[in-house]
Structure 1
Amino acid sequence: MKMRVTSATVATCLLFLQSCAAVLKNGAGRESPNVLFLVIDDLRPALGCYGYQNVITPNIDQLAAKGIKFNNAFVQQAVCGPSRTSFLTGRRPDTTRLYDFYSYWRTAAGNFTTLPQHFKESGYFTASVGKVFHPGISSNFSDDAPYSWSVPAYHPPTQKFKMKKVCPGPDGQLHMNLVCPVDVKSQPLGSLPDIQSADYAVEFLQNVSASSQTSPKQPFFLAVGFHKPHIPFKYPREFQDLYPLFNIHLAPNLSLPPDLPTIAWNPFTDIRKREDVKALNISFPYGPVPRKFQLLMRQGYYAATSYTDSQVGRVLAALDEQGLATNTIVVLVGDHGWSLGEHQEWAKYSNFEVATRVPLILYVPGVTHQPVRGDSTFPYIDALESCINEIPNHNIVNAPSGGNDNVLVQKNSCNKAGLPHCRLQTLPEEGHESDALVELVDIFPTLAEMANLRTPPLCPTDSSKVELCTEGSSFVPVILNVTGGTSRQNIVTSWKPAVFSQYPRPSEQPQINSDLPHLKDIQYMGYSMRTEQYRYTEWVAFNPDTFKPDFDLVAARELYLHDTDELEDHNVAGKSEYRHLLTQLSQQLRKGWRNALPSQ
């Protein structure tokens, strides 16, 4: 019998060879927890467990039911490369000096230790699958090798077709479309990137389990990055059937806010490059996108999200089946949000809530969930098998022809279709949740503390020469407070009063590079602060040579009152009755994140 040798097999063979040395180094008496780190590209909290009753995500919902869900988790910058570099180093964009995709922090800012590197240097076997670091210059064309990973990072071969004409059109030709449901077998190499990444991760976990039977156990840190629902919305066609268009509705606030500063607008240039969007002749910079196509985009995003959920489910089920769920911390996070027509905008590239707020779920065995002997922790839930037959006329997937746009804007009939029932009937537990304000820079120190590693100290004001430190705070006390665990000796009595994001702009008026300006073109930086009640943003002059903002030159301000305006539709920064509040928030923003650290 021949053994099938794959890159995942090679990786776990290396794990076997390293494990003996690791056990000798760390001692065999204590078993360290494994870490499964799941990063999902462009994922906003449009999940069943976050209250989106018509979005079918049973496997992520199941993770939340066994874990703790953070309802107010925010990124430091709403674009892939800067966000990932920030949370993987535990430092903010003004420290990593990455606001675009075109510099590597180790050469541009400092030799900063990363989250996986810290685990690797503490005796863990670390592996990267899919999109974890942003590929290219920002991770040195190597996913930060050799620092972060024990073996070369795995990238699915089918990802190279991202910008290719692979989307079948009604004309019988292939196109490079935004909305792109496909027959997987007809795709190049007969697969899709996230399927291949899940395959690799599943095989890795199987091999880890097998090798642990014959060798000393070495803990692993496995990071798996899923590409969807990032554009294009290319996913197996059958997932489209979960979202018939008569169940899709437009954004509740689909118009351009009247008091929105022009500098705050992102003209969604990335989606305009796709053939199906080009054919719409959408005016620049504001649009709007025709309503019929808005529905197709929202349908595509939700279908791509359900497809990703199925791949997450496969990995979690493998973790469970291999007996690893009882000693593996699982983290699931989106790298930033994505606007689905709110404020007439699409994509990320802004400081709005829809761009900066993300799902963050942690499963900690023995803390968030007590495994029961003989029970399965993460059985795979097939949404297609469970739900598709409960959807009336589920084969209706194309936009109705004729009529005006308003005909398509129907009241959501999801409850009548039975979709929440088919998702939730398998989830008897509700899980834990927290409304605490947390930031993705908090993940690094949190995981280090959970794994009993050295927790990175707080960075000094100038940390360019400090390899290991963090600009975040461990939220382990928040988890223990919610789950009823015993807090650490230094109990945090007051958590963060505010969290911080930022976004660069090349000009005060929207232009072709407003969404993603290169460093040399950045003229303004929008610094945004989210408190329990408010979002306050100042757009100030920025020097790309010194990386310094000038708060004396304010181009625009935004103030949203979340108690009455949770969708951030009404900028009241210019109203005289909020003058004193504006002054207070401006002072708080300018003091920055260091003034918002938890008190001990």
Structure 2
Amino acid sequence: MTRSNFLVSLALGIILSACSIGQTATADDSTPRQMNVLLIISDDLRTELGCYGSELAKTPCLDALAAKGVRFDRAYCQFPLCNPSRSSMLTSRRPTTLGVFGNRTWFGTENPQIVSLPKYFRQHGYDTFRAGKIFHGGIDDAKAWTRGGQDRYYGTGATAEVPLRRLNQASAEEGLGPTLTKAQRSDRWIVLNGDGEKSGDYQATDRAIAYLRDAGEQPFFLSLGLSKPHSPLEAPQQFFDRFDVDQIPLPVDFAPRPTVPDGFPSGSIRPKNADLFIGRDASPQEAREMIRAYLASTAWVDWNVGRLLDVLEESGMSENTIVIFWGDHGYQLGEKGKWSKAGSLWEQGIRVPLLIYDPRVRGNGEACPRVVESIDIYPTLINLCGLPADDQLEGRSLSPLLSNPQSAWDYPAYSVWSEDGNHVTGVSVRTERWHYAEYYGRGAGAFLTEPAVDPHEMTNLVEQMEYAQIVNELSRLARDHTASHRPPD
């Protein structure tokens, strides 16, 4: 599949329109037109992309989007698990505000007054379309969409039980394919026939393409949710062939099973993996093969994104469409013996890819080093589209950083984890220099790292006297953030 239109547009440069934020001029410059939004989400994708410095990844389409727009180098999710992370981003509320700490809680059960991001755009005259996984499986905000909404199966709290038959139906409607057991997810990947035409992600991309080709004059909010590289890892054979398994290095802190590093609290690593190598050790060779499958699945995600962006260019709508690419949380690929995201407050677990292209902003083509959060996406989009501000949102508009990616921005990023689904048992505070995490209940303790000089987070500085003031300040922030949500002493 050619990427010529998208890559040529990058080579030719970006044509900025002389119009105000929220609107772009039409051909005769007489009537301003509302900006469209294209939101693309990938599941379980860490910053393993060429544009983020990966020497292994092969992601030319996303790399081109990053070069065309603004790449956020320090973007963090609010919870390293699908539903809590997506619920936070799509409502611009923190998990501690929503009370969403697991994959079976509908945010609207306890917060019926909250308007989700796509519903807000629908309320303001947009055609809203969903293809693939946007909210978590079985927890769609059906009334947010003019097209593509799905019946919600969860919605009575974290203990709601849904038959596997209904979850499989929900997965099929999202383009995810059948639900697999943990045993099925842990020991295999899937090589798809052809270009993967029968798979959920291919078909979801096709539905998004069909919408673009059929789009009318009404402004649109189009969301494509790709389920990969979530397990089971899958891609057509051609994407596996791009990687030589014998040339794939293991992480410097690789271990055959989840292993707490010396000097770190035991709560920092869950004793069992949740996605891959469940209940068994990973040999070095098996680990390399699994990393190759992850890279192949990521390359296939990139290819599907490219298919959609090609059509956006062909449609003539690229200059009045804001494009956002976001990963819902990070992932560990054998670092410290962990093969999942669940419970990971390490950099690999909470740092996410975030790319924003708005053809009108001055910062296009630059990288932003500031610490930002997933909850910032909602207020950013309504600000860029000129919609009324909502002072109940907990995120901040990133518009100043899109204009000048080097602007001052001194806000920490908070991420939390809940081991029991009811209380916060771990919290991360990330500043530009420091990464601090504190754990409560089982495995209580804290760590402080300086990722710029310790990128693999191998040394815990929390007990060193020269960092006592920093530890005290960050611990205060962590405890203020989790007040009334920590487990009882």
CA distance in 2 between counterparts of 1:528 and 1:161 reads 34
Shift of 1:576: 3.9
Name the CA distance, whole Å, in 2 between partners of 1:587 and 1:159: 41
Q: Equivalent residue for 2:19?
A: none
User: How far apart, in 1, do the equivalents of 2:31 and 2:459 lie?
Assistant: 58
Q: CA deviation at 1:296?
A: 0.8
Q: Deviations over 1:12-49 (max 9, x none)?
A: xxxxxxxxxxxxxxxx9431010000000011111111
Query: Is the 1:535–1:559 contact (alpha carbons within 8 Å) kept by the matching residues of 2?
Result: yes
2:440 corresponds in structure 1 to 540
Give the alignment's Cα RMSD to 1 decimal: 2.6
- Residues 133 and 176 of structure 2 are in contact (CA less than 8 Å); yes or no, is this contact kept in structure 1? no
Question: How far 1:579 moved relative to its partner?
Answer: 2.8
Equivalent residue for 1:263, pick from 240, 264, 267? 267
Number of the residue aligned with 1:564? 453
Q: Which residue of 2 aligns with 1:228?
A: 228
Are 2:484 and 1:584 equivalent residues in the alignment?
Answer: no
Question: Within the alignment, does 1:449 sit opposite 2:446 as a pair?
Answer: no
Higher mean C-alpha deviation, range 156-165 or range 79-88: 156-165
Q: In 2, distance between residues paired with 1:451 and 1:337?
A: 28
Letter in 2 for 1:145: A
State whether structure 2 residue 59 is matched by structure 1 residue 62: no
Deviation per residue, 1:325-360 (Å, 9 max, x gap): 111000000000000111221110211100000110
Q: How far apart, CA to CA, are the structure 2 residues paired with 1:290 and 1:260?
A: 24
Give 2:23's aligned residue.
none
What secondary structure is seen at the aligned counterpart in 2 of 1:340?
A: coil
Consecutive unaligned residues of structure 2, counting only runs of 5 or more, are 1-29, 151-170, 484-489
Question: Are 1:347 and 2:340 an aligned pair?
Answer: yes
Q: 1:196 to 1:260 in 2, by over 3 A?
A: same
CA distance change for structure 1 residues 77 and 207 in 2, over 3 Å: closer, same or farther?
same
Partner of 2:402: 479
Query: Residue 95 of structure 1 aligns with which residue?
Result: 97
> How far apart are 1:268 and its partner, in Å?
4.6
* TM-score after normalising by structure 1: 0.67
Asked if the contact 1:85/1:133 (under 8 Å) is kept, the reply is yes
Matched, 1:195 2:109: no
Q: Following superposition of structure 1 onto structure 2, how do residues 198-597 of structure 1 map, counting pairs within 5 Å?
A: 198-208=205-215, 212=216, 217-255=217-255, 256=259, 257-271=261-275, 277=277, 282=280, 287=281, 289-349=282-342, 350-367=344-361, 431-457=365-391, 469-482=392-405, 494-506=408-420, 518-519=421-422, 522=423, 524-540=424-440, 555-592=444-481
- The answer on whether the counterparts of 2:264 and 2:446 sit within 8 Å (CA) in structure 1 is no
Alignment check: 8 A CA contact 1:96 1:110 kept: no
Task: Report the counterpart of residue 7 of structure 2 in structure 1.
Answer: none
Evaluate the alpha carbon distance shift between residue 369 and residue 315 of structure 1 in structure 2; reply closer, same or farther with a 3 A threshold. Answer: farther
Does structure 1 retain, via aligned residues, the 8 Å contact 2:70–2:367?
Answer: yes
Does residue 49 in structure 1 map to residue 51 in structure 2?
yes
Deviation at 1:562, TM superposition (A): 2.5
1:116-141 Cα offsets, whole Å, 9 max, x none, are 111111110001110000022xx2xx
> Secondary structure at the residue paired with 1:35?
strand
Structure 1 residues 327 and 572: CA distance shift in structure 2, 3 A: same
**By how many angstroms is 1:73 displaced?**
0.2
Q: Give the deviation of 1:78 after TM superposition.
A: 0.6
**For this pair of structures, how many residues does the alignment match?**
428
- 1:151 matched to 2:158? The reply is no
CA deviation string 1:427-475 (max 9, x = no partner): xxxx211001100000000000000001221xxxxxxxxxxx2111001
CA distance in 2, matches of 1:218, 1:192: 30
Say whether residues 1:161 and 2:158 are aligned partners: no
Q: Which amino acid aligns with 1:536?
A: Y
Q: Which residue of 1 aligns with 2:123?
A: 121
Structure 2 CA distance for aligned equivalents of residues 368 and 321 of structure 1: 24
SS at match of 1:159: coil
Aligned AA (1:159): L
Corresponding residue for residue 113 of structure 2: 111
User: In the alignment, residue 199 of structure 2 is paired with which amino acid?
Assistant: L
Cα 1:434–1:196 shift into 2, 3 Å: same
Distance 2:395 2:31 in 1: 31
Identity of aligned residues (%): 33
Mapped partners of 2:481, 2:118: distance in 1 = 27
Q: Secondary structure at the match of 2:275?
A: helix
Measure how far apart 1:593 and its partner are. Answer: 10
Q: Is the 8 A contact 1:66 1:368 kept in 2?
A: no
SS class of match (1:360): strand
Tell me how far apart the structure 2 counterparts of residues 72 and 453 of structure 1 sit (CA, whole Å).
27
Deviations 1:193-218 (A, max 9, x none): 1110111111111111xxx3xxxx11
* Structure 2 counterpart SS, 1:160: coil
- The alpha-carbon distance between structure 1 residues 164 and 253, as it changes in their structure 2 partners (threshold 3 A), is closer
Largest Rg, 1 or 2: 1
Describe the superposition over 1:133-181 as per-residue Cα deviations: whole angstroms up to 9, x where unpaired: 0022xx2xxx1121x111233765563334289x9xxxxxxx7664424
Aligned partners of 1:263, 1:433: CA distance in 2, in Å? Answer: 34
Instruction: Write the distance in 2 (CA, Å) between the matches of 1:536 and 1:183.
Output: 41
Distance, in Å, in 1 between the alignment partners of 2:192 and 2:325 is 28
Q: Is the contact between residue 126 and residue 221 of structure 1 (CA under 8 Å) also seen in structure 2?
A: yes
Structure 2 distance, partners of 1:61, 1:444, is 23
> Deviation digits for residues 91-130 of structure 1, max 9, x if unmatched?
0000111000222121223421111111111110001110
